[in-house]
């Protein structure tokens, strides 16, 4: 982990993998707030998951979720009885953590990108970009850039695949991806 002016670099190589209780995969937490908060107390949490086998998602009452396919042939999510194919990379899909959710893997394992926010406290905007852009982080907000494919640079600092930059100081940042980078902005709920 390194710090630069206004942001902190979170290297993928420094993230431990946590096995799921059901044995269906592992999760690597990219960042969360407050730091060190558990699954019952976070305001927001971002992770990457290796999904190795089909099965139910853990329920997260009071949590809004956005899941994005990063690697693999895709998955079929059944959310409160309605099936939705999540088989196009880098296309976010939002759903409630309250919903009964089951996952099928029609053609094999996947890696997905997860953004979770506590409803009523924090809202997240999740965008993906493959072109150079300016990222504005407003006052009282936090930004998180996660390089999902290829490489990227943030104000001249290089990120490799799955590295992240936590933009903890409001302001403007220059993002130059060579591949695809997730741009997540967390703001207080209105």
Domain CATH code at residue 138: 2.60.120.10
Q: How high is the pLDDT of residue 58? A: 87
Cβ neighbours of residue 40 closer than 8 Å, sequence gap 6 or more: none
Asked if residue 36 and residue 106 are part of one domain, the reply reads: yes
> Which of the listed residues 118, 142, 163 is the one where a domain comes to its end?
118
Q: How high is the pLDDT of residue 4? A: 58
Asked if residue 128 and residue 103 are part of one domain, the reply reads: no
Structure tokens at 36: 């060190």
Asked if residue 94 and residue 27 are part of one domain, the reply reads: yes
- Phi/psi class of residue 23: alpha, beta or left (left: φ > 0; alpha: ψ in -120 to 50)? left
Q: How high is the pLDDT of residue 178? A: 97
Range of the domain at 176: 2-10+122-188
Asked if residue 114 and residue 167 are part of one domain, the reply reads: no
Asked if residue 34 and residue 97 are part of one domain, the reply reads: yes
SS3 13: helix
User: Global pTM?
Assistant: 0.94
Asked if residue 90 and residue 56 are part of one domain, the reply reads: yes
Asked if residue 107 and residue 162 are part of one domain, the reply reads: no
Asked if residue 105 and residue 126 are part of one domain, the reply reads: no
Asked if residue 20 and residue 108 are part of one domain, the reply reads: yes
Asked if residue 21 and residue 39 are part of one domain, the reply reads: yes
> Which of the listed residues 87, 118, 149 is the one where a domain comes to its end?
118
* Residue 90: half-sphere exposure toward Cβ, Cα within 13 Å: 13
> Which of the listed residues 118, 139, 172 is the one where a domain comes to its end?
118
Dihedral of CA 183/114/142/4: which sign?
A: negative
Q: Please give the Cα distance from 170 to 173 (Å, whole number).
A: 9
Asked if residue 102 and residue 67 are part of one domain, the reply reads: yes
* Residue 47: half-sphere exposure toward Cβ, Cα within 13 Å: 21
Asked if residue 159 and residue 87 are part of one domain, the reply reads: no
Residue 92 and residue 146 in contact, taking contact as beta carbons nearer than 8 Å: no
Per-residue pLDDT of the chain (190 residues; tens, 9 = 90+): 444 578 999 999 999 999 886 778 899 999 999 988 988 999 999 999 999 999 998 899 999 999 999 999 999 999 999 999 999 999 999 999 999 999 999 999 999 999 999 999 999 999 999 999 999 999 999 999 999 999 999 999 999 999 999 999 999 999 999 999 999 999 999 8
What is the radius of gyration, based on Cα positions, of the chain? Answer: 16
Q: In what order do the strands lie in the sheet with 101-104?
A: 55-56, 101-104, 75-79, 82-86
Tally of structural domains, the chain? 2
């Amino acid at each position: 982990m390194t710090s630069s002016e206004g942001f902190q670099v979170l290297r993928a190589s420094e993230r431990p993998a946590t096995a799921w209780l059901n044995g269906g995969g592992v999760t690597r937490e990219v960042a969360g707030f407050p730091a060190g908060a558990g699954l019952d107390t976070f305001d927001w949490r971002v992770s990457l998951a290796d999904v190795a086998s089909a099965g139910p998602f853990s329920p997260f009452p009071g949590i809004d979720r956005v899941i994005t396919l990063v690697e693999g042939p895709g998955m079929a999510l059944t959310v409160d009885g309605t099936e939705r194919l999540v088989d196009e990379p880098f296309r976010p899909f939002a759903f409630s953590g309250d919903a009964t959710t089951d996952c099928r893997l029609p053609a094999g394992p996947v890696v997905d990108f997860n953004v979770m926010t506590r409803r009523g406290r924090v809202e997240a905007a999740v965008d993906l970009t493959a072109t150079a852009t300016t990222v504005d982080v407003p006052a009282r907000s936090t930004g998180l850039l996660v390089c999902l494919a290829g490489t990227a640079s943030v104000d001249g600092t290089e990120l490799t695949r799955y590295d992240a930059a936590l933009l903890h100081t409001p302001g403007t940042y220059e993002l130059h991806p060579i591949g695809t980078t997730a741009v997540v902005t967390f703001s207080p709920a209105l």
